[in-house]
Structure 1
């Protein structure tokens, strides 16, 4: 090959390599530029309001549907980066349902980590001691984040939940319960029932000897009465002692809250003498021996403890002073003096002043 031709070929090859090298450098620079832009977008805070945003991932939602929803709301400008990253790391199918709090400063990367973690917003609701099941359901159904599925205390699902017990009253532990959006009133009561059974089993296992209860359920009934009678927490044990000693001596409990419970919606706030004389009311402990058929409220743990470890003593009577506390007496004469002193007429809270045997 002539030398001149070889020089031309060499020059062409050199130009080609130079162009190829230049193209390679430009491509690398372009890749770096794209990578830098993508990384900056990936690490950039989402466009969230200062107050943050609640995001709900519903059952059946995919990461794509969530990302597209956030894009439509102007929160996630570049959902494709989130989807690519999740697919590469095999996280796209691992997001969990629930309600998430998106706080200012959250990035796409931290959003994905949040959705995979399942760290959903937690709510809480308190069931106070001494309420009845109907009131507990009403409290739960006022919670906006809870689904209301129960029709009332007679709902078949509640009766099935507490089986083999035939009545639902008293079978739920009043406490503060945490929950997530999407949980239901039935879910909370299911947990409260389980908590009650556990607490009752634990307290029954360490009960005092010679108590007048044939079963843990009877202790639960007594605990509910103690709960309704107690105005000052420190008196629970002494109130329990009075009722336990009355049962042991064959005396009737003679406690107003049981009558009121038996009256149900018929009670208008005024406990009449006719109510005390009504033997048709099976919860009338002035006319019926022993405990009423079922609990009359939701007793707390302290009431369970009082029923199963009552305070020792000789008192058999108590009367409300009018400030939530009671005066206790060992004799009927002392009790009647206290009644004349404190209860010329029955107080609105209707805590009892047991009569003579």
Structure 2
């Protein structure tokens, strides 16, 4: 009896050892072997709040791992089941499970470029956002006019015009464009505005009306010149005209007032249309709001306009402008640059 018990105990021990060796061999095989010898890149999107098991199932479905349960055990052993990042990741079917797990925990999510230049009106920013697949233009429009959005982002105006900072952004691209993705995208643009402009007002942003004045002049500067050396000059012209109670007579403001329907030509009727609140040929002072998203240098120019006696400027045709102190000088410059170009 004792001999039989000894044999049984030996058999059990041998079975346990065999099972342990088999489990160890299976574990080593899982850890050391990629699903495919010649791997290929696979995109995996992990949504916020997604459980580890759902992540593992998605990886298994795309042939990035060979076993959900073994991948879960690996993550538990490394105490990383709660450390998976949200976002879109590029993994490879030629990677080991450890490499896949490291990417999801420590790797950089895929980011896409959203970019648009200085000087776009909000509806053109909305088009750019939609064309680059970050949000629908209609959702974007609603968001930047939403009082809750404006309050959350410290915008004291009726919409976010002037605060949609022109920049090249690296962002996560949504699977589906929704009102929420429009909100998040617009928030990123406005937060960048505040971050970029904060050094300009170390004591904090100016009061609402002063901020409106600064951004409106900056938007005019942005639309009128692309020559860096001229920005402060142009800002100074507008400041001088306002001080003298002269009409600004800025074509870009009329165009903004016409809106997306503008066909590229300003007519005499447009110049005389007093129902357009942005018609600075009819209404004195600055237009009601900024007319585009100005860049940082145009905002600097509006904060520190150059002091001079110029009241007029006209395009030379090469991107630069001729500045004049009197109407007589201005008319001569128009004849020289504009009329001559028209004859050509």
- For 1:215, what is the secondary structure of its paired residue? helix
If you compute each CA radius of gyration, which structure gives the higher value, 1 or 2? 1
Count of aligned pairs? 330
Residues in 2 aligned to 1:188 and 1:308: alpha-carbon distance in whole angstroms: 28
The answer on whether the counterparts of 2:135 and 2:185 sit within 8 Å (CA) in structure 1 is no
What residue is the counterpart of 1:3 in the other structure? none
**TM-score of the superposed pair, with normalisation by structure 1:** 0.80
* CA shift for structure 1 position 22: 7.7
What residue is the counterpart of 1:340 in the other structure? 335
Residues in 2 aligned to 1:153 and 1:23: alpha-carbon distance in whole angstroms: 72
The answer on whether the counterparts of 1:204 and 1:308 sit within 8 Å (CA) in structure 2 is no
2:189 corresponds to which of 186, 189, 192:
192
Per mean C-alpha deviation after superposition, the further-off stretch among 198-207 and 164-173 is: 198-207
Structure 2 CA distance for partners of 1:181 and 1:167, relative to 1, 3 Å: closer
Residues in 1 aligned to 2:9 and 2:227: alpha-carbon distance in whole angstroms: 90
Per mean C-alpha deviation after superposition, the further-off stretch among 252-261 and 196-205 is: 196-205
* CA shift for structure 1 position 143: 2.6
Residues in 2 aligned to 1:43 and 1:133: alpha-carbon distance in whole angstroms: 53
The answer on whether the counterparts of 1:319 and 1:338 sit within 8 Å (CA) in structure 2 is yes
> 1:115-144 CA distances to partner (integer Å, 9 max, x unpaired)?
334732122211311001111111112233
What residue is the counterpart of 1:176 in the other structure? 168
What residue is the counterpart of 1:78 in the other structure? 67
Structure 2 residues without counterparts, runs of 5 or longer? 175-179
Structure 1 residues without counterparts, runs of 5 or longer? 1-8, 208-212, 348-357
* CA shift for structure 1 position 226: 0.5
What residue is the counterpart of 2:57 in the other structure? 68
1:39 corresponds to which of 11, 25, 28:
28
1:141 corresponds to which of 125, 130, 135:
130
What residue is the counterpart of 2:233 in the other structure? 238
Structure 2 CA distance for partners of 1:127 and 1:78, relative to 1, 3 Å: same
What residue is the counterpart of 2:251 in the other structure? 256
**TM-score of the superposed pair, with normalisation by structure 2:** 0.83
Matches within 5 A, 1:1-357: 13=3, 24=13, 27-28=16-17, 31-47=20-36, 50-103=39-92, 105-117=94-106, 119-144=108-133, 146-148=134-136, 150-155=138-143, 158-163=146-151, 164-182=156-174, 184-200=181-197, 202-204=199-201, 215-344=210-339
Structure 2 CA distance for partners of 1:316 and 1:149, relative to 1, 3 Å: closer
- For 1:151, what is the secondary structure of its paired residue? helix
> RMSD of the TM alignment (CA)?
3.2
Structure 2 CA distance for partners of 1:48 and 1:95, relative to 1, 3 Å: farther
